[in-house]
Amino acid sequence: MSPSGPTVADLGEHEVLRQLHRFCAPVVGDDGAVQSLPAGEQLVVTTDVLVEDVHFCDRTLPPLALGWRAAAINLSDLAAMGAAPVGLTVGLTLPADTAWAWLERVYQGLGDCLGQYGGAIIGGDLCRGERRSLAITALGSVPRHRALYRSQAQTNQTLVTTGAHGASRAGLALLQGDLEQADNTLAQTWIKAHQRPVPRFDAVAILRGLDCGGAVAVMDTSDGLADAVVQICTQSAVGAALLRSTLPIPPGLVEAVGRATAEQWTLYGGEDFELVLSLPAAVASDFIKQLPGSQVIGYTTPEPEIRLVNDLDPGPDIRLGQSQGYQHFG
């Protein structure tokens, strides 16, 4: 046994599963979990895979934060679809020498996030592998014909985001030692943005109370602000103009890294897990009044081009695309 405590190999598969059962809903224990949906609701399913040294490491995401983040990024997808969380499953791959204490903390983080935003662990799987990974599948429910899609944007709508972008990228830079930040308050804010993202169910609740007329497109910004705008526009067959003067840059970021890097991280840093919405102008105005931190970032256009309008200096406009964002196989 390791001096730091038992490993999963020391405990054995059955004991590990028995210990993990206390983090799960009572439905866990059969070959599958049986779940009922409220009358008139549809099932929404989303999956994210997190692989060690690709998506996380102990330096940037200690186990408690990893568990929270693993749940939150899936819940963010449910929020973007307008769905309420029902439950999630956890698929684990672990080396035999993985400390039980590490795994226990991951599940505590999962439970903390679900306890705050809803849902429960309703199943999963466990196997041995060369590196640690988590495959999370989240289930949600949404009233029939009320799901939100990326493909419903129309021309001459207002583009809105629920919060600042670039904070998670700044937090990652701090954790990796690539950024020195004298302001401790900002540093902690950025690190929290990276380690404990917030699924924006609050934004969906506000949207449900507004008369949108069906003309709404929504996507979360897991892969960056620019990527979300491009995907909404591509699937809706519209273009977009973002204003450089209204980019949702976090307070203090320009001073910390310079304007060029701050803009790059805001557009392409990713992992902020905010929402981008394309809304009729009047709806956007009401939405922003009710959601602190939200703001207009641009508008949709009939032309297919997606550009960053340079309204700050005499330089040219910038065409936006997905090539500068994160690529799994880039």
What local confidence, expressed as pLDDT, does residue 314 receive? Answer: 86
The 8 Å CB, 24+ separation contacts for 246-249 are 246/295, 246/296, 246/297, 246/298, 247/165, 247/297, 247/308, 248/161, 248/163, 248/164, 248/165, 248/166, 248/295, 248/297, 249/164, 249/165, 249/166
Residues 6+ apart with CB under 8 A from 277: 159, 160, 161, 162, 203, 207, 216, 217, 218, 284, 287
pLDDT in tens, 105-151: 999 999 999 999 999 999 999 999 999 999 999 999 999 999 999 99
What pTM, to 2 d.p., does this model score? Answer: 0.95
What local confidence, expressed as pLDDT, does residue 325 receive? Answer: 61
Q: Which CATH number fits domain 11-26+39-143: 3.40.50.720, 3.20.190.10, 3.30.1330.10, 3.40.50.2000?
A: 3.30.1330.10
Residue extents of the structural domains in the chain: 11-26+39-143, 150-319
pLDDT in tens, 24-71: 999 898 999 999 999 999 999 999 999 999 999 999 999 999 999 999
Q: Can you identify the CATH homologous superfamily of domain 150-319?
A: PurM-like C-terminal domain (3.90.650.10)
The low-confidence residues of the chain, meaning pLDDT below 70, are 1-3, 182, 324-330
What local confidence, expressed as pLDDT, does residue 2 receive? Answer: 60
What local confidence, expressed as pLDDT, does residue 299 receive? Answer: 98
